[in-house]
Structure 1
């Protein structure tokens, strides 16, 4: 799921970890939660993996079980650095350099690292809430073996507040 609208000025503040959602962003969260409840998808999600910079979106959509209709409890939500636009696990941000952007290969490697972590998880229904570019590169990991038309749909640019459902199958088991 691609992240929702945020306050762009807040994104420039070095003091804010997760920029606050705008009023429109809060409305997008509410609309998305209602769509997931009515489709039944919210009941199936066992784990939510989010970038630390998209926590408000993840918690707003998948948390708050008191606001969710017919949901026994909300899924666990885990924030991972590997799902972030840039990695800030340490004071030394090894992904951000003032003169060079993170290369596609570096983003791809991070996506591969995330997918390997995800593959080892016991949960079968996982929601990933992150940034469009990170999601696209994560999906590239699996797109190479797909038909061109499937690869195009899977890896095209995410729109704001977009959800894509992907089934990942171990080819060794087929």
Structure 2
């Protein structure tokens, strides 16, 4: 059956620009590449970034500043897991934090086994943690988060107020979220983004969440566009 694909027009003032980034390499990724069963290990509960992961963060930060994105982004939305929090503040945060400055740091020194200096919240957009953009839920301890009360001292300038339950009430030990459930959660997240007044937003999430969410779109486009939407990359830019 022939399918006719017609172009669509949308006024720019009705659109938001989303910059989608996944977390940099975590210790669970390295272990999982060696043996997939390592994803079941409690050793990697709420996994932190590797040294290579921090190098990826630094490289993406350089790109964000060289392209001028750092001056355009009005809001950073981040999944409340350690590796995404580290990635978000490393890429989109301010410069090194100095004592005596009258603002809370985005990240304190050495947060999450990072061996990194503190990161300032000066001259950068607000950061908000949102549960809806979390990684594939269930079974894998690396995708279970700590209590919000443990994150707040490590990331003082991140807003965790939209998270209703301090403890992780979404992750289940014996049930792994289905792909279609991730996509449904992703659409709910995007609908929530429409309620925000900011027009240009960075979202720091996870590969499975982004892949399943973006896979819902593009069925009314040329196959080449569909393919581009669903390609996994470090940073994706979309108008929606």
Same fold by TM (over 0.5)? Answer: yes
Local SS of the residue matching 1:126: strand
Matches within 5 A, 1:3-152: 3-8=23-28, 12-13=41-42, 16-17=45-46, 19-53=47-81, 54-66=84-96, 73-85=123-135, 86=137, 89=165, 93-94=169-170, 96=172, 98=174, 100-152=175-227
Task: State TM-score, norm by structure 1.
Answer: 0.79
Gaps of 5+ in 1: 169-174
Gaps of 5+ in 2: 1-20, 32-37, 98-121, 138-143, 146-164
Kindly indicate whether the alpha-carbon contact (under 8 Å) linking 2:27 and 2:44 is maintained by their aligned counterparts in 1.
Answer: no
Q: Quick one: structure 1 residues 92 and 77, their matched pair in 2 at CA, closer, same or farther if it must change by over 3 Å? A: closer
Once the two structures are TM-superposed, the CA of residue 142 in structure 1 deviates from its matched residue by 3.2
Kindly indicate whether the alpha-carbon contact (under 8 Å) linking 2:74 and 2:199 is maintained by their aligned counterparts in 1.
Answer: yes
Kindly indicate whether the alpha-carbon contact (under 8 Å) linking 1:143 and 1:151 is maintained by their aligned counterparts in 2.
Answer: yes
Q: How many residues align?
A: 159
CA distance in 1, matches of 2:168, 2:127: 26
Larger Rg, first or second structure (1 or 2): 2
CA distance in 2, matches of 1:142, 1:26: 31
CA distance in 1, matches of 2:133, 2:75: 14
Once the two structures are TM-superposed, the CA of residue 167 in structure 1 deviates from its matched residue by 0.7
Q: Confirm whether residue 167 of structure 1 aligns to residue 167 of structure 2.
A: no
Please state which structure has a larger fraction of its residues in helix.
Answer: 1
Q: RMSD value over aligned CA atoms?
A: 2.7
CA distance in 2, matches of 1:29, 1:41: 15
Kindly indicate whether the alpha-carbon contact (under 8 Å) linking 1:45 and 1:75 is maintained by their aligned counterparts in 2.
Answer: yes
Kindly indicate whether the alpha-carbon contact (under 8 Å) linking 1:111 and 1:141 is maintained by their aligned counterparts in 2.
Answer: no
* Segment drifting more, 113-122 vs 86-95: 86-95
Q: Quick one: structure 1 residues 95 and 112, their matched pair in 2 at CA, closer, same or farther if it must change by over 3 Å? A: farther
Task: State TM-score, norm by structure 2.
Answer: 0.59
